[in-house]
Every structure is written in structure tokens, then in C-alpha cells.
Amino acid sequence: MQDFSGRVPSKLPDVGTTIFTVISREAAELGALNLSQGFPDFTAGPELFDAVARHMHAGDNQYSPMAGQPALRAAVSAKMAAVYGAQYDPETEITITAGATQAVYTAITALAGPGDEVIIFEPAFDSYLPGIRLAGAIPVFVRLEAPHFMPDWNAVARAITPRTRLIITNTPHNPTGATWSLDDQRRLAALCDGRDILVISDEVYEHIMFDGREHASACRVPELAARTLLVSSFGKTFHVTGWKVGFVCAPPSLTAEFRRVHQFNVFAVNTPCQLGLADYMADASRYLDLGAFYQKKRDDFRARMAGSRFELLDCAGTYFQLARYDAISDEPDAAFVRRLMREAGVATIPVSAFHHDGFDAKLIRFCFAKSEALIAQACERLCAY
């Protein structure tokens, strides 16, 4: 077989396997408890699986319409109106996607090109930067500073140039658990005013908010919604991350551009899953009660960790908890994570993996979307470490 090693130029020469895959693989090899990758070890109610099976047995197994099943788009439209007061036409403003990562990648590809600048806030989810580079666009980084990880709007203003095409935002924020306010969204809208800047708003943890907070969706600010592609995830909301089903809400002109690309890199998304999700969404408590569900898990995790030497930062949303470990070690976060796996048998994620330059603030990320038994066992090990 012919060897092409070194003969095919890489479009991402400095990108290896994602940290989430690497750590999860090492955790499995070591038999460590996995608090690293952001997926639950529990699942949705049986009604969801019954609904999907019902549609499968009814013969709903062929291609869906490119934009998504009308029933699911209608369910998303109804939810956005009821929860946020935002009106999105299911026909021209809502698209069902193969998860949120595909949605973000497609949005970048559709809207940014060579020479365009794309602002991202770091620490940032690791799929944003490769998407920007593959589009030939130029990433511009604005750092979110510990411990609160909120935007410095003066720094954002300085980052904007005549070449700025996109700004990618994420609230509730992975990996930090920080959440924006409506004032933050209004500040962003004001900075974009009068400029041809578009926004990709990653809101996959929209329903995981704590302590009485309300999610400050970009769609709550009309002048921002007019230039925003809002991305969310059924997988995160209904504990079925492996299904890879998400959605994008955007004004008609932006939706049209998004679909031009979407039709050729995905075309259509799993039909019975879409129809089952549409049925399942009829009971709004299945997503409206999600914040209370995860707040119990957050509070349990924090209470169990009270006797440890880790310093837990504030967590206002998502199912992630950041922690300082400087009372234990002064080594780099990636080295500490691997030692923690070997010696304590608990897998976490180094926050430096969310920075393009490996910036190391000596922070690690725990995922508490796990069963009570797993959390208890992991915290016992961490407190003894």
C-alpha cells in the first residue's frame, strides 16, 4: 500500500486528537472515575425512547427534510416563544442540525472566509478555533479572566476591526460555568451596532442555570437577535448527547446562508429521533426543570468536596465545576490531571486545553453530570488526595 506520510499537506497541522477523547481513553485504560468529558452517565425518561421506537416501527426511517422535521421545528418555535418571548418561523428561521458542534462549524463556514476576523472568548470550547481556521478566517482572542470569567467589554471593543466578521459567544459557559446577563448581551449589541458583524451564540446549556438565574439568551435582545445564529442542543437538554441532534435559530437571510452549507455537509438528521424529540417536548417540564435537577448535583458535589484541598470557583450554570489545585501542587494543569488519574483514580480536564496558546491558570474542570454514587466515590478519593 502506498504511503502518503508527509505528502498530504494538513489543513490543521498543529491539531491533534481532542483532549476529551485523550483523557477519556486514558481514564478507561487506568480504570479511573470519569469526571472529564461532558456527558451524563444517566439518561432520559423512557417516554423519549418509546416515542422514537414508535416512529421507527411506524416506518419513519427515511431522509428528513433538509431543514429538519416540521414537527420538531414547530416544537422549537413554540419553546422559544414561551421561554424567551422570541418569535422564530419554523419554516424560514429554524434548522435542525447534527448536534451543536456541526451547527457552529456550518455557521462559521457559511459566514466567514479568508481574511475575515472572528472573535472568540477564551477559555473556549475546542471546536471553535479549528472551524475558523478551516474557513480560512483569522481568529482574534479575548481572554476571560479568573475567577469570574466575564467579558471585559473594553477589551472586546479594542479587538473589533473593520475586518471583524463574526463574534462567537457561549453562555452558560463551558468550561467555566459563568453566565452572561442581559446587560452583557446589550453591550455586545451596542458594539455591533452600525457594523456588519454577525454573532454565533452557543447556548447549549440554556436550561442549566442555578440559584434563580434566568438564561440571558441573545434572542431576548431584538437588535442582537437580528444578527445572531443561536445554537442549542437536544443532547445536552435531554441527556442523549450520543444522538447528536441540535438546532439553529436565525433570521431568514442568515438561515438561508446557513442552509446553503448545511445541505452539503449533513443534508438531513436522524428522522425517528427528531420525531421522538418533538413528541417529548410537549411536556415543557422536561426542559424547564433541568436547572433544579442539575443544581442538586452541583450542590451535592460542592458539599462533598468541602473537605478536600481543592478550591472550587463559583458555578452559575452548565454541569461543570472549575477548581484550583495550588494547595496540592504547583505543576502544570495537564501534568496534574494525569497524576490525579494515576494516583487518585479520577479523570478531569485541564483548562489550558481551552486556550489556543496553552495558557495555564492552574485550573481543572470537573463534570458533575454523573450519578450520585459515582460523585460520592469520586469525591471520597479527591478528599483523600
pLDDT tens, 171-196? 999 999 999 999 999 999 999 999 99
Picking from 286, 318, 349, the residue at the C-terminal end of a domain is: 286
CATH number at residue 238: 3.40.640.10
Q: Using an 8 Å Cβ cutoff, are 258 and 247 in contact?
A: no
- 225: in domain: yes
- 63: in domain: yes
- 142: in domain: yes
C-alpha–C-alpha distance, residues 364 and 175, integer Å = 9
User: Does residue 267 share a domain with residue 210?
Assistant: yes
What's the pLDDT tens digit per position in 334-354? 999 999 999 999 999 999 999
Residue 108 grid coordinates: 462559521
User: Does residue 259 share a domain with residue 149?
Assistant: yes
Provide φ and ψ at 151, rounded to 5°: -65, 140
C-alpha–C-alpha distance, residues 165 and 49, integer Å = 41
For residue 86, the model assigns a pLDDT of 98
- 322: in domain: yes
Q: Regarding beta strands 228-233 and 246-249, do their DSSP bridges make them parallel or antiparallel, or are they unpaired? A: antiparallel
Asked whether residue 21 carries a pLDDT value surpassing 90, the answer given is no
User: Does residue 347 share a domain with residue 230?
Assistant: no
Q: Using an 8 Å Cβ cutoff, are 312 and 168 in contact?
A: no
Instruction: Give the three-state DSSP class for 249.
Output: strand
Tell the burial category of 303 from Cβ atoms under 10 Å away from its Cβ (0-12, 13-18, 19+): exposed
Asked whether residue 170 carries a pLDDT value surpassing 80, the answer given is yes
22-31, 159-168, 196-205, range with the lowest pLDDT: 22-31
Please list the residues that pair with 64 across neighbouring strands. Answer: none
User: Does residue 223 share a domain with residue 326?
Assistant: no
pLDDT band (50, 70, 90) for residue 4 = confident
User: To which residue does cell 418571548 refer?
Assistant: 85
Enclosing H/E stretch for 143? strand 138-143
Name the domain count of the chain: 2
Picking from 247, 269, 286, the residue at the C-terminal end of a domain is: 286
User: To which residue does cell 472550587 refer?
Assistant: 312
Residue 343 grid coordinates: 494516583
User: Does residue 60 share a domain with residue 100?
Assistant: yes
User: Does residue 34 share a domain with residue 108?
Assistant: no
Q: Using an 8 Å Cβ cutoff, are 322 and 351 in contact?
A: yes
Number of neighbours of residue 222 by Cβ within 10 angstroms: 10
Asked whether residue 2 carries a pLDDT value surpassing 90, the answer given is no
Q: Using an 8 Å Cβ cutoff, are 185 and 224 in contact?
A: yes
Provide φ and ψ at 79, rounded to 5°: -65, -45
C-alpha–C-alpha distance, residues 231 and 108, integer Å = 12
Asked whether residue 154 carries a pLDDT value surpassing 90, the answer given is yes
The pLDDT mean for the chain works out to 96
For residue 27, the model assigns a pLDDT of 87
Asked whether residue 234 carries a pLDDT value surpassing 80, the answer given is yes
Asked whether residue 7 carries a pLDDT value surpassing 90, the answer given is no
Which stretches of 8-137 are assigned E, i.e. beta strand? 33-34, 94-97, 117-122
Residue-number span of the structural domain to which 54 is assigned:
46-286
pLDDT band (50, 70, 90) for residue 45 = very high
Instruction: Tell me what percent of the residues of the chain surpass a pLDDT of 90.
Output: 92
Provide φ and ψ at 241, rounded to 5°: -60, -30
- 8: in domain: no
Asked whether residue 325 carries a pLDDT value surpassing 90, the answer given is yes
pLDDT band (50, 70, 90) for residue 93 = very high
Asked whether residue 1 carries a pLDDT value surpassing 80, the answer given is no
pLDDT band (50, 70, 90) for residue 20 = confident
Picking from 232, 251, 286, the residue at the C-terminal end of a domain is: 286
For residue 13, the model assigns a pLDDT of 86
Asked whether residue 17 carries a pLDDT value surpassing 90, the answer given is no
Mean pLDDT of 55-83: 98
What's the pLDDT tens digit per position in 285-317? 999 999 999 999 999 999 999 999 999 999 999
User: Does residue 225 share a domain with residue 202?
Assistant: yes
Mean pLDDT of 372-379: 98
pLDDT band (50, 70, 90) for residue 271 = very high
User: Does residue 143 share a domain with residue 31?
Assistant: no
